[in-house]
């Protein structure tokens, strides 16, 4: 277990038990070691059972909290731990470089790939630099530029999605953030290389979708994907952001529900306690997933890749004829 600074409300009872264990460990001397160790293992057992219980009955709003956990691994953590290397490429060639949506060349077990994703900041200072992972038009235009380059050199694209949404700002609107996202949705439909998308944290609406037109879209178990934030939804429907837990229940934003609706194709398991409680385990799972998909798509023709991606999104929707 890694020790975490930020404890979510529902994790407190578990955390309290671990605190007790720490206290007991300090008290431990040669004389009472045997006794105390027995106590410690009993409490540890109890804590793990409690964790299992809590995590098998998580409410959607609690999953939202895990998806936004300040210690949850971020895009660059995956880049560092899942890929061999990374050469970041900057700029949209029109206006600027977006620090919230980044990308570049990388090797995955020796195979060149293009990695693109939203990067949140790990601290307040970095969050300001990363604009809290909220991209502006430049980010989407840079992403598309890099994707087209990947197509040119016939290398697969891997996108890692983690954003509250595109940035709702003045400049962002003026420079056409809607047009930038729309353009990506349109042009990603025609790319002739595999696109593998993984929602690693928050999949915030159009801001997430703008890089998530994958042949395959996977989701980490405790990540979310939503048309609107639960808070935003509650503010609109009930004029009360406090009802965000009700909105989270209604919007169908958790991985199991999205798998059922075929919005995502696969769930990548996380340890009980979330990705941040055992990062290495999650990196390994992500690695296995990417390896499997790259292998599968290596046999696809360009036409088949494009057709599969079209059909994937074409089939989503529920209605009566």
SS (H, E, C) 267-294: EECCCCCCHHHCHHHHHHHHHHHHHHHH
Cβ closest to another protein, residue 93 vs residue 292: 93
Structure tokens at 72: 């949850």
User: Which range in 5-13, 53-61, 121-129, 307-315 contacts another protein by CB under 8 A?
Assistant: 307-315
CA 142 to each of CA 70, 82, 148, 236: distance values in angstroms, whole numbers, following the listed order: 27, 23, 10, 33
For another protein, the binding residues in 163-202 under the rule CB under 8 A are 165-170, 172-179, 181-183, 185-187, 189-190
Which one-letter DSSP state was computed for residue 74?
A: -
User: Which range in 121-129, 152-160, 207-215, 297-305 contacts another protein by CB under 8 A?
Assistant: 207-215
User: Which range in 16-24, 71-79, 153-161, 234-242 contacts another protein by CB under 8 A?
Assistant: 234-242
CB 307, CB 286: distance < 8 Å: no
For another protein, the binding residues in 5-24 under the rule CB under 8 A are none
**Residues in CB range of 239: below 8 A, 6 or more apart:** none
Which residue reads 């088949």 in tokens?
304
Q: Is 250 in the site for another protein (CB under 8 A)?
A: yes
CB 85, CB 106: distance < 8 Å: yes
Cβ closest to another protein, residue 230 vs residue 271: 230
Please select the residue that binds another protein; options are 61, 228, 241, 259, rule is CB under 8 A: 228
Strands 157-163 and 195-204: parallel
Q: How far is the CB of 180 from another protein (least distance, A)?
A: 8
Q: Which residues bind another protein (CB under 8 A)?
A: 165-170, 172-179, 181-183, 185-187, 189-190, 205-206, 209-210, 213, 225-228, 232-233, 235-238, 250-253, 258, 261, 263, 309-310, 313-314, 316-321
């Amino acid at each position: 277990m890694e020790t975490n600074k930020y404890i979510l409300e529902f994790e407190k009872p578990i955390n309290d038990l671990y605190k007790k264990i720490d206290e007991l460990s300090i008290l431990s001397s040669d004389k009472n070691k045997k006794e105390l160790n027995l106590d410690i293992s009993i409490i540890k057992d109890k804590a793990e059972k409690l964790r299992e219980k809590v995590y098998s009955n998580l409410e959607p709003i609690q999953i939202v909290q895990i998806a936004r956990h300040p210690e949850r691994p971020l895009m660059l953590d995956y880049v560092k731990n899942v890929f061999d290397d990374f050469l970041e490429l900057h700029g949209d060639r029109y206006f600027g470089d977006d620090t919230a949506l980044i990308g570049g060349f990388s090797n995955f077990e020796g195979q060149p790939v293009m990695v693109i994703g939203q990067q949140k900041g790990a601290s307040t200072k970095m969050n300001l630099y990363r604009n809290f992972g909220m991209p502006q038009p430049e980010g989407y235009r840079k992403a598309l530029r890099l994707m087209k380059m990947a197509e040119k050199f016939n290398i697969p694209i891997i996108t890692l999605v983690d954003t509250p949404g595109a940035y709702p700002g003045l400049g962002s609107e003026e420079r056409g953030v809607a047009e930038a996202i729309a353009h990506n949705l349109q042009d990603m439909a025609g790319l002739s290389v595999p696109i593998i998308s993984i929602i690693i944290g928050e999949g915030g609406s159009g801001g997430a979708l703008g890089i998530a037109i994958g042949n395959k879209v996977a989701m980490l178990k405790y990540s979310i994907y939503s048309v609107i934030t639960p808070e935003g939804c509650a503010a609109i429907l009930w004029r009360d952001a406090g009802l965000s837990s009700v909105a989270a229940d209604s919007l169908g934003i958790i991985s199991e529900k999205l798998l059922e609706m075929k919005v995502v194709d696969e769930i990548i398991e996380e340890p009980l306690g979330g990705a941040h409680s055992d990062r290495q385990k999650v990196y390994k799972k992500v690695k296995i997933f990417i390896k499997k998909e790259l292998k599968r798509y290596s046999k696809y023709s360009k036409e088949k890749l494009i057709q599969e991606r079209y059909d994937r999104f074409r089939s989503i929707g529920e209605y009566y004829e």
